[in-house]
Structure 1
Amino acid sequence: MTDAAPRLAAIAETLLGAPLPVRIRAWDGSEAGPPDGPTLVIAHRRALRRVLWKPGELGLARAWVAGEVTAEGDLFELLDRVAGLLWEREPAAVRPHLPERAASAARAAALLRDPDARAAVRELIALARPWLPPAPPPEEAVRRGGPAHSKNRDRQAISHHYDVGNEFYERVLGPSMVYSCAYWSPGSTLEQAQRDKLDLVCRKLDLRPGERLLDVGCGWGSMALHAAREYDVRVTGITLSREQAVHARKRIAEEGLADRVDIRVQDYRDVKDGPYDAISSIGMAEHVGAERYRGYARTLHALLPPGGRLLNHQIARRPEPDEEAYRIDEFIDAYVFPDGELSPLGSTVGELERAGFEVRDVEALREHYGLTLRAWVARLERHWDECVRLTSPGRARVWRLYMAASALGFERGRLGVNQVLAVRPSGAGESGLPLRLRTWGA
């Protein structure tokens, strides 16, 4: 029989309490759902077992990574339709004042009290046979050891995400090799927008010739190169990724800037050669962890002299009620950024102030990250065969899903990204910053 898709559509509509937002094609060739728009292809019934054994995002994501679920048509539109259903149709009795996992449990309990929902779950179990828990896709799963955010475990986490081949990142990020939110203007290319972001950071830090800049989480060296070349400063860049360091040093040598830029494989907690006049931390603090964040802020504060400046560029998540920090969802933690945590903006500002910083400016760049991620997804799709060859099919699928879903998160306001400019004040209360601060916006 070729009736899997209609049966799945009926199950989904019963459990979700809403019409199916996308078309489904099942492993038996059957189809169901609206005829317009993208199609969710369920290529193997094992995908159903993954969802049953691991309900929520992780089960679906594992099916995606394994190639058991794919998309035909516009991936952004497919995710947007599904996300709109999941994010905006939560039962009102479940939504308030519950963290995500508790809300999921409450939804499940409410559903199982409904006889129609129980019948739908039985039907799903019948379609998913045999009733065995599938192993997670092994090629991308993360194995970690030691306490979270210890130096050794942080090295493991960074290596998992970044040490997958510089050529792969070149295909996705483009020649700038900047892996953080760009700063867009109408008509900008990705390269122009990334250059404008680097220059924005330099201008906010008010860099002057001969000053020392510490670039924490320097990546492939783009910020260090820009600051040394355009602002004539001496830069120390630190990363935990050996592949990033090799690539950054090669770029620096090719530009003849080895006398002004030093790239180290080093943990920020091990930097002892301050003071620096300024510190840039761009897209690195998400790896620090809520429990370690105050120590991170105090470490950077101690590396600056009075009047020293910090530019902290960091992704944020809207706070859960009565919760100061938020751990990234299970899929991101297992397959993308191990041990990564997103904190609300207020928590970040508060920790910087507790460390002794005076926060002088906060700029939200949320919409800019949506545009950046869409540009990266376009590059990944354009270079798909090369990216698969340079890494693996699973890795390429992970990247496509997480970047597209993240773009929607920024566009819908569930995620944000902010640049926080702070100074270590002098004893006399002088910040050393211009009286009219936002001269960089001119």
Structure 2
Amino acid sequence: MPLNSDSAINQTHADAPDIVETWLEEADIKLNGPRAWDITVHNPDLLDRIKRERSMGLGESYMEGWWDCDALDELFFRLLMKEQDGESMTRWQHIYLWIVSHVWNQQSVKRAFHVGEHHYDTGNELFERMLDPYMQYSCGYWKNADNLAAAQQNKLDLICRKLKLEPGMTLLDIGCGWGGLAHYAAEKYGVAVVGITVSKEQQQLILQKHKDLPITVLLEDYRELEGHFDRIVSVGMFEHVGLKNYQTYFKVASKCLKPDGIFLLHTIGGNITSSECDPWIQKYIFPNGKIPSAVQISQAYEGLLVMEDWHNFGPDYDKTLMAWHKNFEATWPDLIKQYPNKYDQTFYRMWRYYLQQCAGAFRARALELWQIVFRPTCAPGRYDTVR
């Protein structure tokens, strides 16, 4: 039953827990307020549900139509500017996630293809409409760019220049997505690329679109990698590696990198060292996902590689996500018309919640975007970075 009176709203608000009242008050968010980031309540049990389930309850209740907000990105920006000490999760959620990260290996070889099946195999038709022509599902580089396509091409060229690619080199792309970086590097810099992915949809699209370039794509887990390469790159994949596998990941990269090689890691990063991930994101978007901190990365590569450069352009992910959201909204009517049995209103609400929640997180600087350049411990000479 929707709330139709201020008295009903105030009664529900009065019964809400202190933590929810604090969230809303300190973030300057009102129930049924007039501003774009205010919450329009459709179910009187909303605040009680958030009390019990915190972040999970907020996300699932939105998917179920319990509330609306015209500017979810601004809502989450305000919430994340004020939220402290992991209050968005209950005590039991914290305990469960700690156990999952420290006791179980959610990202084992056996489970490696789970995220590919759950998220990246959602459908190429969605990603082709939402992303840029190179189908980059990672942060663009918006310096001197005024649109998504330019920002993503900037990012691709920035990576190639940081890797100092030269014709005839071999490039290993760990988590190659839909092959946009492999295509760019092969076409513009004359290198031969081997890419690996855990998504069948991605592999099939690469085989179709890039068959005329020296690109090989393997459907396999990074722990199965063999061979030696002049350069290694990994974009937007480390977030799926998991706390228990960080060192293994760097050992594989170190093993596959030639003595004079360069390895570039492009990853989302967290400001606070933690073993947890937002429960809603874990369940609905990136199962087994984990955002690393600088400390966790540093401990994992210690003794294996030398860090030559650490570049942060986290605010650019806000712009990237909002550009994706704009494309998603524009293409949605056509998408459901062509694929009525595949996409529904729940998916629509889940996807727009995900995109704008993440945009708000980067806007609040709760998340960062790092490009880190490594070389082997024995690499000769100095490394001069580019921007």
Aligned residues: 365
Would the alpha carbon gap of residues 368 and 36 (structure 1) be closer, same or farther in structure 2, given more than 3 Å must change?
Answer: closer
> Bigger CA drift: 333-342 or 403-412?
403-412
**How far apart are the structure 1 equivalents of 2:202 and 2:107?**
20
Structure 1 counterpart of 2:219: 265
| Matching of residues 141-156 of structure 1 within 5 Å | 147-156=105-114
Residues 1:250 and 2:208 aligned together:
yes
**How far apart are the structure 1 equivalents of 2:45 and 2:90?**
22
**How far apart are the structure 1 equivalents of 2:207 and 2:325?**
27
Structure 1 counterpart of 2:50: 51
SS at the partner of 1:67? coil
**How far apart are the structure 2 equivalents of 1:105 and 1:261?**
48
In the alignment, is the contact (CA less than 8 A) between 1:13 and 1:19 conserved in 2? Answer: no
SS at the partner of 1:359? strand
Shift in Å, 1:101: 6.5
Task: Show structure 1 runs of 5+ residues with no match.
Answer: 26-33, 107-145
Structure 1 counterpart of 2:375: 423
CA deviation profile, 1:4-52 (whole Å, cap 9, x unmatched): 3232344459652437834434xxxxxxxx4344442333346456435
Shift in Å, 1:212: 0.6
Residues 1:348 and 2:348 aligned together:
no
Would the alpha carbon gap of residues 19 and 218 (structure 1) be closer, same or farther in structure 2, given more than 3 Å must change?
Answer: closer
CA deviation profile, 1:393-437 (whole Å, cap 9, x unmatched): 2233222112212112112211111111001133xx515x55xx1
Would the alpha carbon gap of residues 172 and 36 (structure 1) be closer, same or farther in structure 2, given more than 3 Å must change?
Answer: same
CA deviation profile, 1:252-297 (whole Å, cap 9, x unmatched): 03xx21xx1011111111112x111110000101100111110010
Structure 2 counterpart of 1:163: 121
SS at the partner of 1:307? strand
Task: Show structure 2 runs of 5+ residues with no match.
Answer: 93-103
Q: Structure 2 residue aligned with 1:70, among 48, 68, 71? A: 68
Residues 1:375 and 2:328 aligned together:
no
**How far apart are the structure 2 equivalents of 1:419 and 1:212?**
20
TM-score, normalised to structure 1, is 0.76
Shift in Å, 1:104: 5.0
SS at the partner of 1:210? coil
**How far apart are the structure 1 equivalents of 2:34 and 2:58?**
23
In the alignment, is the contact (CA less than 8 A) between 1:76 and 1:404 conserved in 2? Answer: yes
User: What residue identity is the alignment partner of 2:220?
Assistant: Q
Between 1 and 2, higher relative CO (CA 8 Å, sep ≥ 6) is seen in 2
Coordinate RMSD, CA, aligned: 2.5
**How far apart are the structure 1 equivalents of 2:261 and 2:191?**
14
Would the alpha carbon gap of residues 11 and 45 (structure 1) be closer, same or farther in structure 2, given more than 3 Å must change?
Answer: closer
User: What residue identity is the alignment partner of 1:370?
Assistant: D
Please say which structure displays the higher CA radius of gyration: 1
Residues 1:21 and 2:18 aligned together:
no
SS at the partner of 2:68? strand
Structure 2 counterpart of 1:41: 40
Shift in Å, 1:216: 0.5
SS at the partner of 1:264? strand
Structure 1 counterpart of 2:346: 394
In the alignment, is the contact (CA less than 8 A) between 1:24 and 1:41 conserved in 2? Answer: yes
CA deviation profile, 1:317-375 (whole Å, cap 9, x unmatched): 1124xxxx432111111111111111212321331233x11111110111111111111
TM-score, normalised to structure 2, is 0.86
User: What residue identity is the alignment partner of 2:127?
Assistant: Y
Shift in Å, 1:237: 0.7
In the alignment, is the contact (CA less than 8 A) between 1:301 and 1:424 conserved in 2? Answer: yes
Q: Structure 1 residue aligned with 2:187, among 229, 232, 250? A: 229
Shift in Å, 1:234: 0.4
Q: Structure 2 residue aligned with 1:300, among 225, 245, 253? A: 253
> Bigger CA drift: 12-21 or 341-350?
12-21
**How far apart are the structure 2 equivalents of 1:349 and 1:375?**
32
Structure 1 counterpart of 2:96: none
**How far apart are the structure 1 equivalents of 2:37 and 2:269?**
30
Structure 2 counterpart of 1:135: none
Structure 1 counterpart of 2:167: 209
SS at the partner of 1:308? strand
Would the alpha carbon gap of residues 386 and 306 (structure 1) be closer, same or farther in structure 2, given more than 3 Å must change?
Answer: same
